[in-house]
Amino acid sequence: MSDVAIADYGLLSDCASAALVSRGGSIDWWCPGRFDAPSLLGRVLDPDAGHWALNPTKAESDHRSERTYVDGTLVLRTVHHTSGGSVAVTDALLAEPGVPGHELGRNPPMVLARIVEGLTGTVRMRTEFVPRPEYGLITPYLHQHDGEVRVEAGPLALTLRSPVPLECTDGRAYAEFDVGAGQTLPFDLAHAPAWGPPPPRLDPVASLAETIDNWRAFSQLHDYGGRYPDLVRRSGLVVQGLTYQRSGAVVAAVTASLPEDLGGSRNYDYRYAWLRDFFLTMRALWVTACPEEAGRLFDWAARSAGRSGDQPVPIMYGVMGERDLSEYSLDHLRGYADSRPVRIGNDAWRQRQHDVAGEVLLCAYLIRDHLGELSEELKALLVDLAEEATRWREPDAGMWETRGSGRHYLASKALCWGALDSAIKLAPMLGHRADPARWAAVRDEIRAAMLRDGWNERVGAYTGVIGSSELDASVLVLPFTGMVSATDPRMRATIEAVEAELTTDGLVRRWPGEPAGFVVCTFWLVECLAMAGEMERATALFERTAARANDLGLFAEQIDPRTGAHLGNTPLTLSHVGLIGAAWRLTKPSFV
């Protein structure tokens, strides 16, 4: 099978794990239990790594499909039109029954439901279930019993319930069947640990209706009063779908090793939670009126960081706060579009990134009125991050996580300024270790040095690395920190230079020569233009960029300006919080 386009995938989530469904009706990615668990269905990374197809047979001519999310949910409904008739397939990771909206995802049943409904005529359908646990390393045993298929493999126990008889052979269950108008055929796949209670038995039709109700109840808890409300609410739902609700952690994406460049080696595992993304994610939760989720995310960060001592606060964690995310390669997988290596884990957890301090402390100041009395753990985290910012003269890996020796990134140092400026304002809340007088002296020193050394007279812009002549889109975050205004002549010149030199067909690349545009950088440019008073240009760029989402409103990490193809891991939290921030900036340009 040829690789499905990344933009052709839709997201299912139960706020603990996620699945990707192709437009053609194949679930090609599911890591049951938690986002960063080994995959059970992994065809997105290799044709033989597992899938579950449910779609019209190839004999059905003139097949076309259309799909949409059920309003206010991450429940996906795909309608297949064929020469013989039309059929709908509704896919969902089921929510736990009987919970209020704000507890969605705290204890999901780990059941994947697929409901087939005949709409018109008669359609010949097929289902092919090929489970391959442990990233495709295991071909499991399939046993039929009382109309069910039980899957036994390593640590997993699975039960596939089908309304039609299935033929099982060589780790594959298959059937063809007819669906007439008015018929409803429910399928469900339930997961549980092998050495515990059996997987749950739910009524998939009733549970699907309850899942829809739970998502809608969750959506109604949040409000947004700015421009582009439909786009913002959809991106807000995606961010919630990428939240591991048991802990409050937000993962960067639900996939691992989807390439930034087809056939290339920049393939990384993004199923973890980065403090780097903290400010933009927290701001998005704040903008979409999610104060409880914002508070839980802060609690998760404080607990995960623990005592740092003389070591820098780690930049990223597993969804339950794990620190060691050591990276390894799955050499048996070919990778998406032959992009190798396929990496699991992410060695960026070992890096020093000065920007982290600013992102967290800017957040704390933003939502200070919602934090209440700070716990001792949160006070310690914020003070430790302020102290890290005082070491701003040291090189770091930068927000793009460059591997190799560190450099002096301007954005990192500007975010150190933002960290200290926020810490000074928060000092009365931070306890006896707060040192606002010393922090103020260092903050002023940073600003003077950055305005002097960060500007490159020959380029006529602030460049990415101190002393370098190379532009870098990371400098667009400077106005977000408050260190420099977007209306400052040098910052205005930088914004214009980034638009002129790093933008192709309305998409902003991170650095010269990068083949694809980075979605969040394009939304940063929207914000900078709006802050600089260029509202007409900002609005046009926002609408053009928002239109590049797939048909379900999802963004991957990057977009190829030549083809429009989405690249990199998907859906990417940073892309969606970038959209939310840009929409709010167009509503309130002076928002900080």
- CATH 2.70.98.10 domain position(s) in the chain: 6-219
Look at the domain 222-587 and name its fold.
Glycosyltransferase (1.50.10)
Check if the beta carbon of residue 527 is closer than 8 Å to that of residue 581.
yes
In the chain, list all ranges with CATH 1.50.10.10: 222-587
Q: What is the pLDDT of residues 96-126, one digit of tens each?
A: 887 766 677 788 999 999 999 999 999 999 9
List the structure tokens of 333: 């997988």
C-alpha 514: how far from its chain's center? 21
pLDDT tens per residue, range 34-84: 999 999 999 999 999 999 999 999 776 678 999 999 999 999 999 999 999
166 near 147, Cβ under 8 Å?
Answer: no
The answer for residues whose C-beta is within 8 angstroms of residue 576's C-beta and 6 or more apart is 235, 236, 238, 239, 284, 555
Tell me how far apart the alpha carbons of residues 310 and 553 are, in angstroms, rounded to a whole number.
Answer: 44
- DSSP bridge pairs for 147: none
Q: Please choose, from the candidates 127, 228, 253, 221, the residue with its C-alpha nearest in 3D space to the C-alpha of residue 179.
A: 127
CA distance 457 to 505: 27
Give me the phi and psi of 173, to 5 degrees please. Answer: -115, 135
Residues 6+ apart with CB under 8 A from 362: 279, 415, 418, 419, 422, 480, 481
pLDDT score recorded for residue 308: 59
6-219: CATH topology: Beta-galactosidase; Chain A, domain 5 (2.70.98)
**What is the per-residue pLDDT across 471-494, written as a single tens digit (0 to 9) for each?**
999 999 999 999 999 999 999 999
| Per-residue pLDDT at 1 exceeds 60 | no
> Which own/partner contact pairs does 504-507 have at CB distance under 8 Å and 24+ positions apart?
504/561, 505/561, 505/562, 506/541, 506/544, 506/545, 506/561, 507/545, 507/548, 507/559, 507/561
Q: Quote the pLDDT of residue 343.
A: 98
* Cα(402)–Cα(394) distance, integer angstroms: 15
Q: Which of 376, 405, 254, 399 is nearest to 316 (CA)?
A: 399
Measure Cα distances from 11 to 19, 20, 238, 293, 351 in Å: 6, 5, 8, 21, 30
Model pLDDT, residue 506? 97
Number of residues that this document lists for the chain? 592
| CA–CA separation, 577 and 503 (whole Å) | 20
pLDDT reported for residue 96 = 87
Q: Are 568 and 264 in contact (CB under 8 A)?
A: no
Reported as a pLDDT band with limits 50, 70 and 90, residue 289 is: low
* Percent of the chain with pLDDT strictly greater than 90: 79
Task: Identify whether the C-beta of residue 351 lies closer than 8 Å to the C-beta of residue 397.
Answer: yes
C-alpha span between 90 and 43 (Å, rounded): 21
**What are the beta bridge partners of residue 12?**
19
User: What is the rounded distance in angstroms from the CA atom of residue 271 to the CA atom of residue 466?
Assistant: 32
506 close to 538: Cβ distance less than 8 angstroms: no
Using alpha carbons only, how large is the chain's radius of gyration in Å? 24
Bridge partners of 141, per DSSP, are 152
Of 399-403, 424-428, 438-442, 563-567, least confident by mean pLDDT is 399-403
